[in-house]
Amino acid sequence: MPAPEPVLVVAAHPDDEVLGCGATMARLAAEGQAVHIAILGEGITSRSSRDDSDAKLLRRLHQQAEAAALKVGAKDVVLFKLPDNRLDTLPMLEVAKLIEDLIQKLRPAVIYTHHPGDLNLDHGIVHRAVLIATRPVLGHPVRQILTFEVPSSTEWAFQKIEPVFRPNVFVEVSKTLDAKIAALACYDSETRDFPHPRSEQTLRAIATRWGSIIGCTAAESFELVRSIR
Ligand SMILES: [Zn+2]
């Protein structure tokens, strides 16, 4: 059994955590690691006025986030409920402070988060906020930061938004890919039919493709930001 290395997954929107590293979370949890999830945005596009149906939709989405976390064996999911697709209207330090406080509480050794080259602006903001929150000063717990791809955002930047996602860390997930698919199914409003990138068939194809690169049947891929040993 590996030494405990608490993991924190920091995502912009409900479902990004599953799309990005759902099968890896399930594998780490099965291996006995504590996996925590933080989701910054509330999950539906912000509007100036809210009605009852919006409130109901949000409640439902947040229940789905909790159900998805259970499917991958995460210990907990923290929902910060910041304005969706408008994270750029908040001071960066405010976003970073939320992550910083959570890190002090949970003391994760490893963080999985967004890649900065995604089409979705919130993803890049979360990436930057994580870097601010994890400046490696004396005694800081975070030793490793990895970025994930989010199908329908990372590849839809068409390598035109720098930096381009260049995965160099691969996690074999043949035993836990089904848990990822089951977790995504909890988000019934966020999944799409094939050939959409967020369909079950496409997600399995992506895992097969990364798996074939490292000589196994399924994998998730990550780009390492830094690792301290
Ligand atoms: Zn997102």
Residue pair 83/90 in contact (Cβ under 8 Å)? The answer is: yes
Q: Which residues surround ligand 1, an ion (CB under 5 A)?
A: 12-13, 16, 120
Calculate mean pLDDT across residues 61-83.
Answer: 96
CATH no. for residue 20?
A: 3.40.50.10320
Instruction: Note the pLDDT tens digit of each residue in 117-149.
Output: 999 999 999 999 999 999 999 999 999 999 999
Separate counts of helices (H) and strands (E) for the chain: 6, 7
> Is residue 2 a part of any domain in this protein?
no
Q: Is the pLDDT of residue 46 over 80?
A: no
Residue 146 domain-assigned (yes or no): yes
* Whole-number Cα distances in Å, 135 to 51, 139, 165, 191: 40, 11, 22, 35
Rounded distance from Cα 82 to ligand 1 centre (Å): 13
Q: Kindly state whether residue 89 falls inside one of the protein's structural domains.
A: yes
The crossing angle, in degrees rounded to 10, of helices 200-213 and 177-186 is 150
The boundaries of the domain holding residue 92 are 7-227
Domain count, the chain: 1
Ligand 1: centre distance to CA 215 (Å): 29
Q: Count of CB atoms within 10 A of residue 11's CB?
A: 27
Span from the CA of 153 to the centroid of ligand 1 (angstroms):
7
- Regarding beta strands 219-227 and 144-148, do their DSSP bridges make them parallel or antiparallel, or are they unpaired? antiparallel
**Could you give the CA distance from residue 175 to residue 184 in angstroms, rounded to a whole number?**
16
Ligand 1 centroid to Cα of residue 120, in Å, is 7
* In-domain check, residue 1: no
Could you give the CA distance from residue 76 to residue 66 in angstroms, rounded to a whole number?
8
For residue 47, is it within any domain? yes
Q: What is the layout of strands, in order, in the sheet containing 7-11?
A: 76-84, 35-45, 7-11, 110-114, 144-148, 219-227, 169-172
ω before 151 within 30° of 0 (cis)? no
Q: pLDDT tens digit string along 137-188?
A: 999 999 999 999 999 999 999 999 999 999 999 999 999 999 999 999 999 8
